[in-house]
């Protein structure tokens, strides 16, 4: 079963994403910020197949967490979730770091299609 | 100096003239007295001699004064020429000392008008031009200060719109997401509950569109609407937009068809932005057309361009409406707008976006017979046989493309 790690500082959004992903048949791990993302990727067994990270989170943003993981050699595909593409203008991750973007509100049909193609 | 001489000369001449007139008057007096004596018959020889004497004396005086007049006139002429030359020299110096600061002022004004708010002039020279220079510099400094304030306000406005957009988007994501979740369980809802959720969804989508349009508009006004073009597959782009609209058109019983010419060249576009344009055109077609209407999306090769069209068989537009359709806050028929959730900004933003890509967008419509919107984008020239262009690395590009190519 495909394991998806989702990270967002809003519990409501986590609940929404978990529900929709589980209904699609994914196994879901959650994190509330970038620090938990790094921990979860290192300790989860089996490791997540894809990361869905909110761009802006307290303590450590999704982009910072991803950068740290990439530096440590983690190559798991990652989608960055942001309120708007504009948030990416500053400190934009490189193509090597990120596999794609998802904007809020989330278009779940597009999201499922992206996850399917990245974990195929 | 010659002028001084001329002045002295003229004064001397005036004195000589006075002396000449006095001497002439005296000579006439003597002659008249002599003639009286002659009339009385006294000493006619001597008296006659006196008269002749006086006449020749006056002649001599006249000759003298004529000479003096000629000399003085020459002196005055020379003095005048010298004076004028001096004045000209004096003024040309004065003009030169004013001309340079004035020329500098003109040049600085030009630069200021051209937007260089750093333009200043060197202050110096005559007190008049120095005052003018100071006034100019003060004005330029004030302009620069106000422009700075305006830029700061513009940045604050931009940040505010961005922050507001972010803060509103999170709760909207939840509202829309959970309403969609409920609709997935539609079978377990009563018809009234299902309608209620539908209304929540409609309004949430409207709010999201408003938010997006306002953000784009703020960016466009600030000249900061930017695109990140990459080689993109047209079929995938069209399918992506159609997929986004499918549930809405199905709910209205509208047929949504796509027809993509096989083997289309790629286009260099910001995928999300052109998708936004297509979704906007499809949303308009959906919202302005009645239930059961038909919407056609086509993509085809047109010379060096790729053309994408969105055609509906809805109410269409009259010519005067069509003319203004790409202007802000212009919407279709007033009678229809109350059912339509648009912001009146979508087509204006779409036009800006397409033009940023070096493309064109146009509308074609006949009242009562539907509308066609046409987007043309420059195609990437066909690749050489051994070097196909790099594919788009965007995640969405890797989505399944049933029926493409």
The encoded tokens of residue B171 equal: 């709760």
Nearest to B395 among A86, A99, A104 (CB): A99
Nearest to B165 among A17, A83, A117 (CB): A83
Quick one: pLDDT at residue B334? 46
Number of domains in chain B: 3
Neighbours of A114 (CB within 10 A): 25
pLDDT 10s digits, B94-141: 777 777 888 888 888 888 888 888 888 888 777 777 888 888 889 889
* Distance, CA of B298 to CA of B261 (rounded, Å): 8
Q: What is chain B's mean pLDDT, rounded? A: 83
For the cut 80, the answer to whether the pLDDT of residue B331 exceeds it is no
The encoded tokens of residue A31 equal: 């994190």
In a domain, B92, yes or no: yes
Which domains does chain A show, CATH number per domain? 3-119 (3.40.50.2300)
Same domain, B207 and B293: no
The length of chain A in residues reads 120
CATH number at residue B237: 3.30.565.10
Pick from A79, A83, A94 the residue to mutate for testing the B interface (most B CBs within 10 Å). A83
Same domain, B281 and B140: no
Residue where a domain terminates, one of B175, B206, B225? B225
Same domain, B92 and B8: yes
Half-sphere exposure of B386 (CA within 13 A, CB side): 0
Contact call for residues B290 and B359 (beta carbons, < 8 A): no
Describe chain B by its helix, strand, coil percentages, rounded to 5. 65, 10, 25
Range of the domain at B241: 228-398
Residue where a domain terminates, one of B86, B112, B138? B112
Cα–Cα–Cα angle for B169, B173, B178, nearest 5°?
155
> Cβ contact (<8 Å) for A113 and B208?
no
In a domain, B404, yes or no: no
Q: Does A88 touch chain B (CB under 8 A)?
A: no
CATH number at residue B164: 1.10.287
Same domain, B64 and B180: no
In a domain, B405, yes or no: no
Same domain, B249 and B372: yes
pLDDT 10s digits, B218-259: 777 777 788 888 999 999 999 989 998 998 899 889 999 999
Same domain, B86 and B165: no
For the cut 90, the answer to whether the pLDDT of residue A20 exceeds it is yes
Residue where a domain terminates, one of B79, B112, B145? B112
> Cβ contact (<8 Å) for A100 and B243?
no
Same domain, B293 and B378: yes
Same domain, B268 and B300: yes
Same domain, B203 and B240: no
Partner A, chain B 173-192, Cβ-Cβ below 8 Å: 173-174, 176-178, 180-181, 184
Same domain, B157 and B134: yes
User: What is this model's ipTM?
Assistant: 0.87
The encoded tokens of residue B251 equal: 């709910």
Mean pLDDT of the region B354-376: 93
Q: Does A109 touch chain B (CB under 8 A)?
A: yes
Quick one: pLDDT at residue B10? 79
The encoded tokens of residue B128 equal: 């008049």
Quick one: pLDDT at residue A88? 55
Q: Does B391 touch chain A (CB under 8 A)?
A: no
In a domain, B387, yes or no: yes
Q: Does A104 touch chain B (CB under 8 A)?
A: yes
List CB contacts of B99: < 8 A, sequence separation 6 or more.
none
Half-sphere exposure of B239 (CA within 13 A, CB side): 20
A84 pLDDT band (50/70/90 cuts)?
A: low
B177 pLDDT band (50/70/90 cuts)?
A: very high
In a domain, B120, yes or no: no
In a domain, B99, yes or no: yes
Of A85-89, A90-94, B263-267, least confident by mean pLDDT is: A85-89
Nearest to A113 among B181, B204, B400 (CB): B400
């Amino acid at each position: 079963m495909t394991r998806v790690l989702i990270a967002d500082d809003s519990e409501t959004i986590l609940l929404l994403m978990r529900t929709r992903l589980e209904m699609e048949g994914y196994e879901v791990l959650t994190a509330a910020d970038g620090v938990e993302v790094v921990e979860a990727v290192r300790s989860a067994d089996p490791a997540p197949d894809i990361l869905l990270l909110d761009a802006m989170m307290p303590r450590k943003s999704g982009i910072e967490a991803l950068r740290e993981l990439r530096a440590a050699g983690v190559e798991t595909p990652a989608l960055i979730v942001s309120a708007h593409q504009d948030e990416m203008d500053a400190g934009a991750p490189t193509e090597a770091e990120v596999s794609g973007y998802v904007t809020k509100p989330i278009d779940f049909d597009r999201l499922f299609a992206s996850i399917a193609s990245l974990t195929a | 100096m010659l002028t001084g001489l001329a002045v002295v000369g003229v004064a001397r001449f005036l004195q000589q003239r006075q002396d000449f007139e006095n001497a002439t008057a005296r000579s006439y007096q003597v002659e008249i007295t002599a003639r009286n004596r002659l009339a009385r018959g006294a000493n006619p020889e001597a008296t006659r001699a006196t008269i002749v004497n006086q006449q020749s004396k006056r002649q001599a005086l006249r000759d003298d004064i004529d000479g003096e007049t000629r000399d003085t006139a020459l002196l005055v002429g020379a003095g005048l020429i010298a004076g004028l030359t001096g004045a000209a020299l004096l003024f040309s110096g004065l003009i030169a000392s004013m001309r340079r600061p004035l020329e500098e002022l003109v040049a600085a004004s030009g630069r200021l008008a051209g937007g260089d708010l750093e333009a200043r002039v060197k202050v110096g020279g005559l007190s008049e031009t120095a005052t003018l220079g100071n006034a100019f510099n003060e004005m330029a400094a004030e302009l620069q200060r106000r422009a700075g304030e305006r830029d700061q306000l513009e940045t604050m406005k931009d940040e505010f719109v961005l922050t507001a957009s972010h803060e509103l988007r999170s709760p909207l994501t939840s509202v829309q997401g959970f309403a969609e979740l409920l609709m997935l369980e539609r079978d377990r809802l009563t018809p009234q509950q299902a309608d209620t959720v539908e209304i929540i969804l409609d309004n949430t989508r409207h709010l999201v569109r408003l938010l997006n349009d306002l953000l784009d508009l703020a960016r466009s006004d600030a000249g900061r609407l930017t695109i990140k073009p990459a080689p993109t597959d047209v079929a995938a782009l069209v399918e992506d937009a159609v997929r986004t609209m499918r549930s809405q058109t199905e709910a209205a019983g509208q047929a949504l068809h796509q027809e993509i010419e096989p083997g289309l060249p790629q286009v260099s576009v910001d995928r999300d932005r052109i998708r936004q344009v297509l979704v906007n055109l499809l949303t308009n077609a959906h919202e302005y057309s009645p239930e059961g209407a038909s919407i056609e999306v086509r993509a085809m090769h047109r010379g060096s361009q790729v053309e994408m069209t969105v055609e509906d068989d809805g109410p269409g537009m009259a010519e005067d409406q069509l003319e203004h359709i790409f202007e802000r806050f212009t919407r279709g028929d007033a009678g229809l707008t109350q059912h339509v959730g648009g912001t009146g900004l979508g087509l204006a933003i779409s036009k800006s976006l397409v033009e940023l890509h070096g493309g064109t967008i146009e509308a074609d419509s006949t009242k009562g017979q539907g509308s066609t919107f046409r987007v043309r984008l420059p195609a990437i020239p066909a690749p050489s046989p051994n070097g196909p262009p790099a594919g788009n690395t965007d995640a969405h590009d890797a989505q399944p493309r049933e029926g493409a190519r």
